[in-house]
């Protein structure tokens, strides 16, 4: 499903970027995937997808 029609960004693209890069904020995600750069209507859906994916990403502990 397309989330950002202006830039033809799908939910699959957003999910893959979140899994791979694990951005800490929507601003960091926007540096990776150009969502919300024109009309901005996709930001809410993008944030929801990002939140869903971040809950599925396993938490890694830093080795001391």
The domain spanning residue 33 has which CATH number?
Answer: 1.10.10.1100
The string of pLDDT tens digits covering residues 6-26 is: 999 999 999 999 999 999 999
**The pLDDT of residue 57:** 76
CA angle 29, 27, 58 (to 5 degrees): 45
Is 62 inside a domain boundary? no
Measured in whole angstroms, how far is the alpha carbon of residue 38 from the centre of its chain?
Answer: 16
Is 63 inside a domain boundary? no
Tell me the C-alpha distance between 56 and 34, whole Å: 23
Is 26 inside a domain boundary? yes
**The pLDDT of residue 59:** 61
> Is 3's pLDDT higher than 80?
yes
Question: How many folded domains does the chain comprise?
Answer: 1
pTM above 0.75, yes or no: yes
Is 27 inside a domain boundary? yes
Q: Give the domain extent around 33.
A: 2-56
**The pLDDT of residue 63:** 45
């Amino acid at each position: 499903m397309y989330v950002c029609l202006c830039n033809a960004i799908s939910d699959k693209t957003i999910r893959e970027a979140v899994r791979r890069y694990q951005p800490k904020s929507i601003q960091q995600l926007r540096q990776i995937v150009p969502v919300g750069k024109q009309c901005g209507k996709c930001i809410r859906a993008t944030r929801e997808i990002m939140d869903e994916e971040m809950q599925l990403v396993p938490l890694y502990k830093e080795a001391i």
